[in-house]
Amino acid sequence: MTVTVDLDLCQNHGQCVYAAPEVFAFDEDEVLTYEPEPPRSRHDQVRAAVAACPVRAIRLVGEP
């Protein structure tokens, strides 16, 4: 699974950070950072983050 985030679309609502804090975070400038290839143990959390994003800025590549 590869995670991509459209940072132009992202409005920093932070729902992804709540759903998958080991994968998504805000840096000191409040810019979203993320792990583009999270470990398999975090895939369910990442899917929850995708579903929670109100602007649908998160995409998964390599998902069936």
**Within 10 A of 2 (CB to CB), how many other CB atoms are there?**
11
The pair of structure tokens assigned to 24 is 């998504």
Using the predicted structure, report yes or no on whether residue 64 has a pLDDT greater than 80.
no
Q: What is the rounded CA–CA span in Å between residue 47 and residue 3? A: 10
Model pLDDT for residues 5-20, shown as the tens digit of each residue: 999 999 999 999 999 9
Contact in structure between 5 and 44 (CB atoms under 8 Å): no
Domains and CATH numbers, the chain: 2-61 (3.30.70.20)
Model pLDDT for residues 24-56, shown as the tens digit of each residue: 999 999 999 999 999 999 999 999 999 999 999
